[in-house]
Structure 1
Amino acid sequence: MLSNCTKGVTTCPTQGRSNPYIAAKPESRGVRQQRHVRMDATITSAADTQKLYAELDTACINLRRAPPSMRLTFSGPVKEAYEQLAAAGVARKWGCGVSEALRRRNVMLGELRQLGIKNPDKIAVPSVRNDAAFLFSVVGSTSLLAVVAGAVLPGDWGFFVPYLLGGVNLVVLAVGSTAPGLLAVAIDAFSQVFPDYKDRVLRHEAAHFLVGYLLGVPVGGYSVQLGREHTEFAEAKLQQRIIERTLADEEIDSLALVAVAGVAAEAREYEEVMGQTADLTDLQRLLLRSKTRLSSAAQQNLTRWAVWAAAGLLRTHGSEHAALVQAMRSGASVAECVRAIEETRGEVA
């Protein structure tokens, strides 16, 4: 081995780093055993994590298949699966939003704008975009067909068919005026022509999922299919069916955030909120179960506060929301969605 000598002091140019020409010192038996123990612990931890996620998926599947009368019973294992994930240090973000969500207070419209709500005045105002587009399409298409039929069809058919097509418009208007729910399926199907439809649904349901998860509400399933868009939560959070009891203010606050999370997500991205009717209906049902009677003004303020608080959580956990949207887009299971949330590094959106 060559050495550089200076003033009688011998130094090695490879000192402080490994020398490839010198054989490494053999590991002692104890060191080898410790290294293998650490590797085995890592493997066991990964296997246990996968097992916990599998148990969560199994519990969610059983909940989805359970009859309505047994859903409370089957929601218990879902809650236990989340608690086991949290106890194992895997679901670190589950319930972390409880300390972040502020207590109910008065919220001004300007505060909603500060959190990215594009048009606070449109909150709780039903959108008529899809309805208007549907009616315009029906009237326009039938009118065009009536003109073509009158010009092309011979004899009496040229008079009868246009009148028949005109009657379609009258039927649609009559049904829409007396029983608008009957047109809901057709309008929902027609809404898919808008390019933002799929993204709206994904953002909306991902917000329900994420805010519920952050507040410690067990998520049992979700769907983004046409006509069945929803996020399902296990009622074991309250240990009793909501319809069978009154709710304390603390419970109302948490569940209100979950109910309007989809509204907050859409309002932060779009000028109009398409999917708020069902959410506000769910919120109204919750308010009817409140122990504290709320006036109309108090209900309006609670709705505004809930949207503000939910928007704050979505802003704080913007990267998790984006990751969850992508997971739902690919049809991920509940456990895979939870993994997407936990493995995403939080960034403010």
Structure 2
Amino acid sequence: MSVSVTSVVSLSNSSSTEFQTRISENQKNWRIKASSAAQGVDLKALELAITKKDSDAVREALDQLNEIGWAKKWKSQPNVSRRTTFIRELTNLGIKNAENLAIPSVRNDAAFLFTVVGTTGFLGVFAGQLPGDWGFFVPYLLGSISLVVLAIGSVSPGLLQAAIGGFSIFFPDYQERIASHEAAHFLVAYLLGLPILGYSLDIGKENVNLTDEKLQRLIYSGKLDAKELDRLAVITMAGLAAEGLKYEKVVGQSADLFTLQRFINRTKPQISKEQQQNLTRWAVLLAGSLLKNNKSSHEALMSAMSKKASVLECIEAIESVV
């Protein structure tokens, strides 16, 4: 199983410099703390299990480290219990525009299409001043670019989405937003006791790999129970919660909402539309609460992931925060 985020955007100029400076400082701090915290603790079994992509071995290694007092945050929130949740609770938590969280963002798509149409239109007008046949054919060819883009979106949406993802790096909040989003998935999964085997912050490949053989079997067989659905819902909505706590608009929720719906569809017994809506609200509320209560760990993890740290180093970053 993977929790993926497809909406991305990039830092530039002073905002990028400020973010990178903060990341470097935090990275240095968590490395020092992690080295100190792990002193005298053997992490080889955990490192080997992660390398082998063995979720059971990772879980076992973390359980053992927890018993000796090192992996204190691992599985520190094992019990989740769904309850009726209201929009005002999300607002009180600090979620901005809570009523619009489940509405897919079109910011990146609109910006891309407006740029394509605007640029080709401007160049078309300019090219119309060219002498002879060039003044006819060049504007015509430029104008057809917009039609080609729309055609690609209709025939192969994946290609258009990849182009939109690449274009999104020009937004000033890209790196910080995506790091916060993916670190939230990683941290909440860790707190709930689901082993993490990998992650990516690359454009179009943003995800946290929560592969778990038992869960995989339940998902594919369509036999997820309410307890497992609740855990997966909180992890899936963690990225949305992280964005909602900081930004006025959430742009990385589309893939997460799709993933949550896939889990809901594979749950027995099926839940009603009203229950699905409540599940989403409750999952955002709990994930947001966990992130606020573990803000320092979240920031340390963002720093580590932004530097492409290994999964083991990411875990050390989480555990380095007292």
Over 3 Å counting, the alpha-carbon distance change for 1:56 and 1:245 in structure 2 is farther
Offset of residue 298 of structure 1: 1.1
Count of equivalent residues: 286
Write the deviation string for residues 278-319 of structure 1: whole angstroms up to 9, x where unpaired. Answer: 111111111112122111111111111111111111111111
Name the structure 2 match of 1:76. Answer: 56
Name the structure 2 match of 1:46. Answer: 39
Offset of residue 129 of structure 1: 0.5
Given the two structures, how large is their TM-score scaled by the length of structure 2? 0.84
> Are 2:303 and 1:326 equivalent residues in the alignment?
yes
1:141 partner letter: T
Counterpart CA distance in 1 for 2:236 and 2:184 is 10
> Are 2:164 and 1:220 equivalent residues in the alignment?
no
Offset of residue 231 of structure 1: 0.3
Name the structure 1 match of 2:69. Answer: 89
1:255 partner letter: L
- Alignment root-mean-square deviation, CA: 1.9
Counterpart CA distance in 2 for 1:246 and 1:122 is 31
Counterpart CA distance in 1 for 2:133 and 2:217 is 66
Write the deviation string for residues 103-142 of structure 1: whole angstroms up to 9, x where unpaired. Answer: 2111111100111101112211010110110011101111
> Are 2:131 and 1:154 equivalent residues in the alignment?
yes
Name the structure 2 match of 1:106. Answer: 84
Contact in 1 for aligned 2:222/2:268 (Cα 8 Å): no
- Residue 106 of structure 1 aligns to a residue whose secondary structure is coil
Contact in 2 for aligned 1:79/1:237 (Cα 8 Å): no
Name the structure 2 match of 1:270. Answer: 247
Offset of residue 330 of structure 1: 1.5
2:272 pairs with 275, 279, 295, which one?
295
Given the two structures, how large is their TM-score scaled by the length of structure 1? 0.78
Name the structure 1 match of 2:45. Answer: 55
1:189 partner letter: G
Counterpart CA distance in 1 for 2:292 and 2:189 is 15
Counterpart CA distance in 2 for 1:320 and 1:186 is 33
Name the structure 1 match of 2:119. Answer: 141
Write the deviation string for residues 38-89 of structure 1: whole angstroms up to 9, x where unpaired. Answer: xxxxx9x834x2x32x3323322322xxxxxxxxxx3322222222222332
Structure number with greater CO (CA < 8 Å, separation at least 6) is 2
Offset of residue 195 of structure 1: 0.8
Percentage identity across paired residues of the two chains: 52
Return the index of the structure with the highest Cα Rg: 1
Name the structure 1 match of 2:283. Answer: 306
Offset of residue 177 of structure 1: 4.7
- Residue 219 of structure 1 aligns to a residue whose secondary structure is coil
Contact in 2 for aligned 1:79/1:236 (Cα 8 Å): no
1:97 partner letter: Q
- Residue 222 of structure 1 aligns to a residue whose secondary structure is strand
2:160 pairs with 178, 183, 188, which one?
183
Contact in 2 for aligned 1:217/1:237 (Cα 8 Å): no
Give 5+ residue unaligned stretches, structure 2.
Answer: 1-35
Contact in 2 for aligned 1:92/1:342 (Cα 8 Å): yes
Structure 1 segment 16-55 matched on structure 2, within 5 A: 46-47=39-40, 49=41, 51-52=42-43, 54-55=44-45
